[in-house]
Amino acid sequence: MNQPVFIEQLTPDGEVLHRTKVTHLPARIGRAYDNEVILDDPHTAAHHAQVELNQLDELIISDLGSYNGLALGKNRERFFVVDGEHIYRLGHTHLRIRTADYPVAAEVTDSTNHHWEGWLPALTGLLLLLMTGLLSTWLADLNQGTLSKYLLELVSVFGFAIGWSGVWALFSRLFNGHARFGRHLFIVSAGLAFLELWEHGSGLLAYAMSWESLQTFSAHPMIFICAVVLYFHFITAGNKQPKRLQLVLAAIAILGSAIAMTKEYQASNHLAGELYMSNIYPPAVRISRDHSLDEFMNDMEALKEKVDNARKTDPKE
Amino acid sequence: MRFFYRPLTFAFTLMASLGVAAQTDTPNTATNTTPNTAPSSAAQQLYASAQQDLLQLRVLLKNGNSQSSVGSGFLIGNSNLVVTNFHVVSQIALEPETYFGEYKDTSGKSGSIELLAVDVLHDLAIVRIARNGSGFFKVPHASANTEQPALVKLHQGQHLYSLGNPLDLGFTISEGTYNGISTRGFSDQLMFTGAVNSGMSGGPNVTADGQVAGVNVAHRRDGELVSFLVPVRYVQALLSRVTSDMAPPEDFKPIIGEQLLEHQTVMVDKLLEEPFSIKSLGPYRVPVRESDQVRCWGNTDSSAKKAYTIASINCSMESAIYVSNEMQTSHISMHHKYAHNKKLNVMQFSQLATNMFDGQVYSTAKSETITPASCTEDFIRHNNISLRALVCAEAYHKFNGLYDFTLITASTDDSQTSLQSMINIQGVAYDNGMKLISLFLQGIDRAEADKTDEPTITPASTPTSAPANGEVAP
């Protein structure tokens, strides 16, 4: 054998814990100190397995007669021909064996946006919060409130966003080593801004186009926005399986929507969160056409059948 | 030594009891020695002769025998028929599988009752018991289709006496005066200035010479001794449809439903006898109805500090029909609110209009009496105005052909003013509901000339406070 062999100890998730370079074969693996690769797994034998070349000059891993043996998935064998991809299990230890000429995958582009860290996203986030906070307070300010009211509103929004991103930063630090507080603050601020924007935008659109369901079902897009925010938080905190995360969050969002609708249905017999579109905007916003009084009365007449069908008991004629 | 106290304490108790006996004896001996020569009062005489025909009626839960409601009643003539209020026995009529009734007379005897007839509109019912009256309470009546005999004529200020068992404390008689007929409802009620308390419902109200004038039915919570009686002519009418040996109806719900349906026709016809009167709210015209049965109140909130003004007119029917604790029906109310912008931005003003429009109608799936609301909403345009309108309808589970309606509208033609109107209609037929809503919608309009005028607010009337309409059924 003219090139070194690397014996890698992996986590159950497939991440490399430890890598040993072996230049002379056979290399023995086990708990004893005379092995080339020393394991700290009590479920392995003192001399558990060895990596060697067989007569066909293939690299193999073979069992040295241990109790727990050598397994690939559910197959337990005396020996396996090594191919650099498969992970073998010795007791509770996961091993992968690669030679120096193992072709590695191409370099991936930087998906973590390292230039978007620190004070820049934090400041952008705070600016977003300031704008949405002021806008929503101003819109709801019908009694011409004082400056202190605006400040109080801003303080509570800032307090929430900072507390929330603090928790995520701690989470990131624990699992990823980097807190990335600025990025988390930007994510939550953008999320809050989107929620606010959606609330006003959807109301306006519903009113302008007479799309009542946009308003009466507004809870579900909000649940979706929250799921997206959580996705970015998790990715920033170091989640390495975005596909799986997307599926999990989508499932949670659908479950959330279903629970919301069930609750509404039990309380009011309607799936919508609100019984009717309550938003009133200035006349200039309207695009959809007006209906005549007769059309409205016809709609009302059509309700009769619906109401009659909703009776629990059929009263005698 | 210890036992020495025993005879001593015994002696003390004996003395004490003798002392008490002596004290209580004194007035007794006094009354015995001086015979009661003063003439007894009219009330005393009345009670003495009426008491054997006076009953307490109770509705009990079949399961557990516990008491659910208590009222009074009285035996008619020498028959076994007892007159009482419908609301006293409504549970027996609506849920005979859950409730049953019992009577108790002044001597403490009790027995079961059997519901024979109801008159929901006038809050009357007739039950049968296994005992006959002594003939004290007479209500002369003929059979249903012949002319009824004349009844006692009452004069304002005349003394009247209500009998019954208030608050389940014991049988009482209360004295008061007759004060005319109240026409606030769709059928007459006598006004009685005397005490009528809970538990006296269904008890008789008689003149000094023992003629039945009416049946105790309600009092006003916001007044003192302002009580109401069902005139005896409605008792007469109900009695004419009942015989002592008739079989009771199997199910009262269709009968009640029919009476309610009949009443709503009268109610809607009366309401629409003449077209809605039109009031001004700023540049807008709104429909209201003011009559004996419907009262309107106006209000403005226009403090200089506020960035907007709101003026309102609220009209409400003063009567409703009691069907059960969960269900009072045959009621209509109308509300108009007019908001005018003074200092707000257009978007802020639209937020105000949104807040006013929001949360006015909600749908419940939990109600046992009505179905959840089914609604339709639209932008509509008619006359000089465009509106956002929502109408919701609910059907009564137990009464065929009866519905509740709510209509709310908001004007959508001006960014500086908002007119929001509402009509609430309870217990009418579907076509009547549609008729009322259509007429109400047609009444909402805007005067074309003064699109940008300052608001002129002319509410119906401006009382210092809204009416406290606390009529309660005892």
pLDDT of residue B411 exceeding 50, the answer is yes
pLDDT for B31: 40
Mean pLDDT within B224-249: 92
Q: Which residues have a Cβ under 8 Å from the Cβ of B30 and sit 6 or more positions away?
A: none
Nearest to A312 among B352, B354, B397 (CB): B397
CB atoms within 10 A of CB A207: 27
B170, burial (CB in 10 Å: exposed 0-12, middle 13-18, buried 19+): exposed
- With an 8 Å Cβ cutoff, is B70 touching chain A? no
pLDDT of residue A145 exceeding 80, the answer is no
Question: Both tokens of residue B284?
Answer: 């807008």
Report which of A126, A114, A252 is spatially closest to residue A190, judged by C-alpha positions.
Answer: A126
Q: From the candidates B301, B360, B363, which should be mutated to test the interface with A, based on the most A CB atoms within 10 A?
A: B363
Q: Which A positions 199-258 lie with beta carbon below 8 A of chain B?
A: 210, 212
Q: How far is A269 from chain B (nearest CA, A)?
A: 5
- With an 8 Å Cβ cutoff, is A312 touching chain B? yes
pLDDT for B459: 44
Q: Do A315 and B254 touch (CB under 8 A)?
A: yes
Q: Do A275 and B437 touch (CB under 8 A)?
A: no
Q: Do B397 and A291 touch (CB under 8 A)?
A: no
3-state DSSP assignment of residue A90: strand
Adjacent-strand bridge partners of A6:
A21, A98
Q: What angle do CA B143, B149, B152 make, to 5 degrees?
A: 135
pLDDT for B238: 94
pLDDT tens, position by position, B148-166: 888 888 999 999 999 999 9
Q: Which A positions 259-288 lie with beta carbon below 8 A of chain B?
A: 265-270, 275-284, 286, 288
Residues of A in contact with B95 (CB under 8 A): none
Torsion, CA B423, CA B429, CA B432, CA B434, rounded to 10: 60
Q: Which has the minimum average pLDDT: A2-16, A89-103, B257-271?
A: A2-16
Q: How far is CA A81 from CA A51, A60, A96, B129, in A?
A: 10, 4, 12, 101
d(CA A55, CA A238): 45
pLDDT of residue A248 exceeding 70, the answer is yes
pLDDT of residue B430 exceeding 70, the answer is yes
Q: Do B359 and A267 touch (CB under 8 A)?
A: no
d(CA B352, CA B337): 12
Q: How far is A310 from chain B (nearest CA, A)?
A: 6
Rounded to 5 degrees, what are φ and ψ at A234?
-65, -40
Adjacent-strand bridge partners of B231:
B214
d(CA B181, CA B196): 17
pLDDT for B445: 93
pLDDT for B326: 84
In three-state form (DSSP H/G/I as H, E/B as E, the rest C), the secondary structure along chain B is CHHHHHHHHHHHHHHHHHHHHHHHHHHHHHHHHCCCCCCCCHHHHHHHHHHHHEEEEEEEECCCCCEEEEEEEEECCCCCEEEECHHHHHHHHHCCCCEEEEEEECCCCEEECEEEEEECCCCEEEEECCCCCCCCCCCCCCCCCCCCCCCCCCCCCCEEEEEECHHHCCCEEEEEEEEEEECCCCCCEEEEECCCCCCCCCCEEEECCCCEEEEEEEEECCCCCEEEEEEHHHHHHHHCCCCCCCCCCCCCHHHHHHHHHHHHHHHHHHHCCCCCEEEEECCEEEEECCCCCEEEEEEEECCCCCCEEEEEEEEEECCCEEEECCEEECEEEEEEEEEEECCCCHHHHHHHHHHHHCCCCCCCCCCCCECCCEEEEEEEEECCEEEEEEEEEEEECCCCCCEEEEEEEEECCCCCEEEEEEEEEEEECHHHHHHHHHHHHHHCEECCCCCCCCCCECCCCCCCCCCCCCEECC
Mean pLDDT within A241-246: 91
Q: Do B380 and A295 touch (CB under 8 A)?
A: yes
Rounded to 5 degrees, what are φ and ψ at A258?
-65, -40
Residues of B in contact with A143 (CB under 8 A): 306-307
In B147-167, which positions are buried (b, 16+ CB within 10 angstroms) versus exposed (e)? ebeebbebeeeeebbbbbbbe
pLDDT of residue B454 exceeding 90, the answer is no
ipTM over 0.90: no
Q: How far is B435 from chain A (nearest CA, A)?
A: 9
What is residue A241's DSSP assignment? -
Report which of B92, B263, B230, B65 is spatially closest to residue B162, judged by C-alpha positions.
Answer: B230
pLDDT for A115: 76
pLDDT tens, position by position, B1-46: 344 444 444 444 444 444 434 343 434 433 444 445 566 688 898 8
- With a pLDDT cut of 70, the percent of chain A lying above it is 97
Report which of A55, A51, A102 is spatially closest to residue A80, judged by C-alpha positions.
Answer: A51
In B361-381, which positions are buried (b, 16+ CB within 10 angstroms) versus exposed (e)? bebeeeeebbbbbbbbbbbbb
- With a pLDDT cut of 90, the percent of chain A lying above it is 62
Q: Do A296 and B346 touch (CB under 8 A)?
A: no
Q: Which B positions 342-371 lie with beta carbon below 8 A of chain A?
A: 343-344, 346-355, 357-359, 361-366, 371
pLDDT for B245: 87
Residues of A in contact with B391 (CB under 8 A): 296, 300, 303
Mean pLDDT within A86-108: 89
Report which of B229, B103, B110, B236 is spatially closest to residue B174, judged by C-alpha positions.
Answer: B229
Adjacent-strand bridge partners of A19:
A8
Q: How far is A12 from chain B (nearest CA, A)?
A: 51
Q: Do A311 and B374 touch (CB under 8 A)?
A: no
- With an 8 Å Cβ cutoff, is A308 touching chain B? yes
- With an 8 Å Cβ cutoff, is B435 touching chain A? no
Residues of B in contact with A293 (CB under 8 A): 380, 382, 438, 441-442
Q: Do A269 and B372 touch (CB under 8 A)?
A: yes
pLDDT tens, position by position, A278-293: 999 999 999 999 999 9
Q: Do A304 and B393 touch (CB under 8 A)?
A: yes
Question: Both tokens of residue A137?
Answer: 């307070």
pLDDT tens, position by position, B262-289: 999 999 998 888 889 999 999 999 999 9
Rounded to 5 degrees, what are φ and ψ at B126?
-120, 130
d(CA A22, CA A83): 16
Q: Do B393 and A307 touch (CB under 8 A)?
A: yes
Mean pLDDT rounded to a whole number for chain A: 90
Nearest to A275 among B375, B378, B388 (CB): B375
Here the contacts of A160-164 (C-beta below 8 Å, separation 24 or greater) are A161/A125, A161/A129, A161/A185, A161/A188, A161/A189, A161/A192, A164/A188
Looking from the CA of A198 toward its CB, the CA atoms found within 13 Å total 18
pLDDT tens, position by position, B322-346: 998 888 899 999 999 999 999 899 9
Q: How far is B380 from chain A (nearest CA, A)?
A: 4
Q: Which A positions 110-139 lie with beta carbon below 8 A of chain B?
A: 138-139
Nearest to A278 among B347, B354, B398 (CB): B354
Contact B320, B330 (CB under 8 A): yes
Looking from the CA of A37 toward its CB, the CA atoms found within 13 Å total 32
3-state DSSP assignment of residue A100: coil
Contact A281, B380 (CB under 8 A): no
Task: Give the number of residues written for chain A.
Answer: 317
Residues of A in contact with B434 (CB under 8 A): 297, 300-301
Q: Which A positions 148-207 lie with beta carbon below 8 A of chain B?
A: none
B466 dihedral zone (left: phi>0; alpha: psi -120 to 50; beta): beta
- With an 8 Å Cβ cutoff, is B438 touching chain A? yes
- With an 8 Å Cβ cutoff, is B31 touching chain A? no
Contact A12, A93 (CB under 8 A): no
Q: Which B positions 241-300 lie with beta carbon below 8 A of chain A?
A: 251, 253-254, 257
Q: Do B346 and A282 touch (CB under 8 A)?
A: yes
The residue that leads in pLDDT, B336 or A1, is: B336
Q: From the candidates A276, A277, A312, which should be mutated to test the interface with B, based on the most B CB atoms within 10 A?
A: A276
Residues of B in contact with A312 (CB under 8 A): 371, 397
Report which of B213, B200, B212, B131 is spatially closest to residue B169, judged by C-alpha positions.
Answer: B200
Contact B114, B129 (CB under 8 A): yes
Residues of A in contact with B398 (CB under 8 A): 313, 315
Q: Do B400 and A288 touch (CB under 8 A)?
A: no
3-state DSSP assignment of residue A46: coil
- With an 8 Å Cβ cutoff, is A290 touching chain B? yes
CB atoms within 10 A of CB A288: 12
Contact A62, A52 (CB under 8 A): yes
CB pairs under 8 A between A and B: 154
Mean pLDDT within B126-138: 92
Nearest to A142 among B351, B374, B392 (CB): B351
Q: Do A275 and B362 touch (CB under 8 A)?
A: yes
Q: Do B254 and A316 touch (CB under 8 A)?
A: yes
Q: How far is CA B141 from CA B86, B241, B396, in A?
A: 20, 10, 35
pLDDT of residue B468 exceeding 50, the answer is no
